[in-house]
Structure 1
Amino acid sequence: MTTDTHRRGTFGAALALALLSAAPAMAQGSFQDCLRGLEQQARSRGVLPQVFAEATAGLSPDNSILALLDRQPEFSRQPWDYINGLVAANRIAEGRRMLQVHRAAFDRAQQETGVDKHIIAAIWGIETSFGKAKGNTSVVRATATLACYGRRQDFFRGEFVAALQIINQGHVAPAAFRGSWAGAFGHTQFMPSTFLRAARSANGSQRIDLVGSVPDALMSTGNLLRAEGWQAGQGWGYEVTVPAGLDLSLAGRDRPQTVAQWEARGVRRVGGQAFPRRGDQAFLHLPGGAAGPAFLMLPNFRVIMKYNNSENYAMAVGHLADRLRGGGGFVRPWPTAERPLTQQERIELQQRLAQVGLYSGTVDGKLGAGTREALQRFQQRAGMPADGFPTAALLQRLRRGG
C-alpha cells in the first residue's frame, strides 16, 4: 500500500539527502537517541525487550529514503500517462493468467470478503507486478529512518513499532521482512499498521504470511477493502457521456447525486448500456477535463482510494480490474496533446489561485481535489467551462488576472 505522502521538489529532496550525507556522525547520534525514545512505546505494545534489541542492534538510518519521500507519480503525471502505464497489455495478460493459476484463492477471498476478485487482482498487479517486485528494503530500517527524520515522523513512529509487533508475533522472520522504501511489504504492499488491523490468514493459521503466501495476501487485501466499506455487488464506476451544456461545476467528490439524478441531467453510460443500480450515489469525475473521458464514480471508488489516496491510482485499479474481466479500453480518447505542467508551473498555479482567494491548501505542486475545486471556482468566475483541469492555457489566464 503506497503511502499518501506529500511531495517536495527535486531540489528539496536532494538537499535533504545532502544534509544527511554531509553529517553522518550527527545523524547517527540523533538516530540512536530517537530509537531509545521509541523503546518504551514498543514495550507498551507488547514488543519484548529482546526483540527490540535484536531488531535495532547496529541499525543505521537509510540516507537514500528521504530523497524518495516526496516523489509520487499519481499527482505529477498526466492521468492518461499514469493510468495507461499501469494498465499495460503485459499486465493484463499476466493478471488473467494469475486469476487462473490462483483461482481457488481468488474465489475464496471473494466469497469470504465480498470484494470482487478482479479488484484484488488489479491491486496485486499494480502494487508488485503479481509478486515480482515486492521490494528489498528492510522494513524495520525504513520505518525507523522515517520515524526519526522527515516530515511525517509521528506517522512512521507508529509504523516502526507496528513492524516490531509483527516480528514479535512471529508473522515474518526479520531477514525476510523487506519491502518498499516507505515500509510497505508483501504481495499487496501493506503498511505494518495495516497488517495488524486487517491481515487475515486464508487457512485460519495463527501466522499470516503476506510475503510468501499468495492466498494470505489475497484474503488480507479483500478483508482490508471490506473493512473500509466495500459494497458487495457494486462496481467502482462507469464511463459516461455528458450532454452539451451540463454545468461542469457539478463534478467533484463532494457533489454526489444518485445515478437516477445524473440520468435526469442527460448523463448516459457509454455504449448505450443501462445503469444496473440507479439508486446508487455517484460523483462526476473528469480526470482529463471536459475534452477527456467522463465517469460516474461509485462509493467503492472511494474505498479503493483508502489503499492509496489518489484518484488516478483508484482509476488504474478499477480499469485494470475491468480489463482482467474482459472489458475494453475507455471509449472517449484522452486529450493527449495537452502537455503536463512542470513542477514549478504547478506551484505557480496554486500560488496564483491563493492570491485571488480561491485556494487555501498547501502550495506544494500536488494538484489534488483542493486545487481542482479552486480551479473550478476560477473558471466559473471567468465564464469558462468549470472542469477543474489544469492546463498551460489556464495558467496563462491566471497570469493575466482572469
Structure 2
Amino acid sequence: MASGASAVEASTPEATAAFDAWVKSFRPKAMDAGIGSSTFDAAFKQVTPDPEVVALDQRQPEFTTYIWDYLDKQITAERVQQGQSLLRSNDALFQRLERDYGVDRHVLTAIWGIESQYGSEIGKRYVIRSLATLANDGRRKTYAENQLLAALQMLQNDRVPREQLVGSWAGAMGQTQFIPTTYLAYAADGDGDQKRDIWNSSADALASAANYLKEANWQRGGRWGLEIRVPAPFDYALADLSIKKSVAEWQWLGVIGASEPIPPQIASLQASILLPAGYRGPKFLVLDGYRAIRRYNPSTAYALAVALLADRYAGKGRIVQPWPTDDPALNNAADIQRLQQKLTDRGYNPGTIDGIIGDRTQQAIRAYQKDHQLPQDGYASKSLLARLEQ
C-alpha cells in the first residue's frame, strides 16, 4: 500500500535529513511573518517528521459514507443523553453564552459532541510536528505552512504552552477542533481567566464556537431550520441552496412542517430547501443558522448532524421521511467520473471530470432531468448513472 511505503520512507535517515532541510528553509518565512527566533527554535526543538501523519494524509477512503449511515453514527442515544445531561449541569454557562453571542445552546452542544465527544477526544499529536510534516510532504504545502505560521503565533503571542499545542494529524485542536488560523481569529475566553484554552476549558471552547457562529451570521434567537413536506406536484428545481425565498413565500407554494407547524415568527426570514438525498428523501427548510453551521464545516452531512442532534437535545423527534436507501448517492470517485463523462457525452457540462459532485455537476444533472421530464433534484444517484449508461 502507498501509505505503508510512505511511512517507511518517512522513517529513513534520508527523509529526516530532507525534513531538517525543509525546517531550515522555512525559518526565514517565519521570521518574515514576525515569529521570533527563540519561539521558532523552541517550537522545533527535537521535532522529527511524523510518518503516521503522512500515512493518514494519503489514506483517502475509496468510498464515502452514505448520509443516513453518517447520521446514525453521529446521533446516538448515548450522545443525546450525555449532551442533555451536560446542558443541565452547565445551564449557567449556556445562559451566559446565549446572552453574549446569541447562539442556540443545543447547536453549541452538538458541535461539542461531534467534534470531540464533549471534550474527551481532542487529539494528542504535537501540532507543530504534524503541520511541518504535511508541509514538507508537499501534498498540503500551502495549507500546512499557513497553519504552521498561525500555530507559531499561538506559541509566541497567546503564550500557549508547547505541551498544550496538541490536536489531530491535520492540526485541528481542542474541544471544538479549531485549526490554528481559526483559533487566532475566533477563540474566546469563556471563563474570565484571560486565556483562550480550548483544550482544557469547556467554557472557552464553547465560547469560541459561539463566537465563530455569531461571526458566520447566526441570528440571535434563531434556529437552523426544520423538516418539511412539499405538495405534489412540486418544482424541485427550486430546491437549491442558491435559491432563497421568505418562509411565507415557501408556505404559499404549499410547504408545510413535517412533524411540527412552521413557527409564525420565522415567516419573514429567508430560507432555502435542502434535499440531501433527492426528492424521495427527507426535505428541509434551512435558514441562515444552517448556513452558519456550514461555515464551521462545509459538509452537508456534518451540518445536518449538528442540526438534528441539536433538535434531539431539545426533545424533538427523529426525521419523519425515510431515506431512499434503495437508491443511494454515488459514493466513490470512479462512479462519479463515469456520471460526469456520460453527462458530457450527452451534451451537458458538468465541468471538470474530477469525481466530485459540485455545483456544475448538479446543474448538469438538473438540465438532464429537465430534458427527460424527471424531478429536477440534482441528485447524483446510482439509478441516474444506470439510466445514463443504458
Deviation at 1:141, TM superposition (A): 1.1
CA distance in 2, matches of 1:28, 1:51: 22
Cα distance change on mapping 1:283 and 1:150 into 2, 3 Å: farther
Instruction: Note the C-alpha offset of 1:353.
Output: 3.1
Q: 1:203 aligns with which of 191, 202, 208?
A: 191
The answer to whether structure 1 residue 353 and structure 2 residue 353 are counterparts is no
What residue number does 2:2 align with? 15
Give the SS at the match of 1:64.
Answer: helix
Aligned-partner residue type, residue 351 of structure 2: S
The residue aligned with 2:382 is: 392
Answer with 140-149 or 323-332: which moved more: 140-149
Match of 2:268 among 279, 291, 296: 279
Aligned length: 385
Deviates more, 1:290-299 or 1:17-26: 17-26
Q: 1:130 to 1:241 in 2, by over 3 A?
A: same
Corresponding residue to 1:69 among 28, 36, 57: 57
- The aligned runs of 1:320-331 (5 Å cut-off) are 320-331=309-320
Give the distance between the partners of 1:381 and 1:36, measured in 2 at CA.
59
- 8 Å contact kept, 2:197–2:204: yes
Q: How far apart are residue 347 of structure 1 and its match?
A: 3.1
Q: Classify 1:183/1:206 alpha carbon distance in 2 versus 1 (closer, same or farther; 3 Å).
A: same
SS of the residue corresponding to residue 43 of structure 1 reads helix
1: CA distance, partners of 2:84 / 2:321: 25
Contact kept, 8 Å, 1:17 with 1:66, in 2: the verdict is: no
Query: Partner of 1:296: helix, strand, or coil?
Result: strand
Would the aligned equivalents of 1:252 and 1:373 in 2 still touch at CA under 8 Å? no
Equivalent in the alignment of 1:305: 294
Identity across the alignment (%):
36
Matching residue within 191, 199, 220 for 1:232:
220
Q: In the TM superposition, what is the alpha-carbon distance from 1:362 to its structure 2 partner? A: 5.6
Paired position in structure 2 for 1:184: 172
User: Quick one: which amino acid aligns to residue 397 of structure 1?
Assistant: R
User: Hey, what does 2:373 align to over in structure 1?
Assistant: 383
Contact 2:239 2:274 in 1 (8 A): yes
Contact kept in structure 2, 1:252 and 1:283, CA below 8 Å: yes
Shift of 1:357: 3.4
Work out whether residues 103 and 214 of structure 2, in 8 Å CA contact, stay in contact via their aligned partners in 1: yes
Give, in whole Å, the separation in 1 of the partners of 2:119 and 2:360. 34
Q: Does 1:337 align with 2:326?
A: yes
Alpha-carbon deviation of 1:375? 2.0
| Residue segments in structure 1 that go unaligned for 5+ positions in a row | 1-13
Aligned amino acid, residue 353 of structure 1? L
Equivalent position SS for 1:271: coil
Deviations 1:382-401 (A, max 9, x none): 2211112222211111223x
The higher relative CO (CA closer than 8 Å, separation ≥ 6) is in 1
Structure 1 residues 54, 60: CA separation in 2 closer, same or farther (over 3 Å shift)? Answer: same
Please name the residue that 1:27 is paired with: 15
Q: Which residue of 2 aligns with 1:315?
A: 304
Q: Which moved more, 1:280-289 or 1:353-362?
A: 353-362
* Alignment-derived partner of residue 243 in structure 1: 231
Equivalent residue number for residue 173 of structure 1: 161
SS for the counterpart of 1:295 is strand
1:226 to partner: Cα distance:
0.8
CA contact (8 A) 2:277 2:329 kept: no
What letter matches 1:392 in structure 2? K
Q: Deviations over 1:257-304 (max 9, x none)?
A: 221221121111123513331121111111121111111111121111
CA contact (8 A) 2:350 2:361 kept: yes
**Counterpart-to-counterpart distance in 1, 2:327 and 2:242:** 26
Residue 242 of structure 1: how far off its partner (Å)? 0.8
The worse-fitting range, judged by mean Cα deviation, of 385-394 and 91-100 is 385-394
Q: Which moved further from structure 2: 339-348 or 154-163? A: 339-348
Match of 1:267 among 255, 268, 276: 255
SS class of match (2:128): helix
Tell me: CA distance 1:221–1:31, structure 2 relative to 1, closer, same or farther (3 Å).
same
Match of 1:292 among 244, 256, 281: 281
Matches within 5 A, 1:208-219: 208-219=196-207
> What is the distance in 2 between the residues matched to 1:273 and 1:393?
34
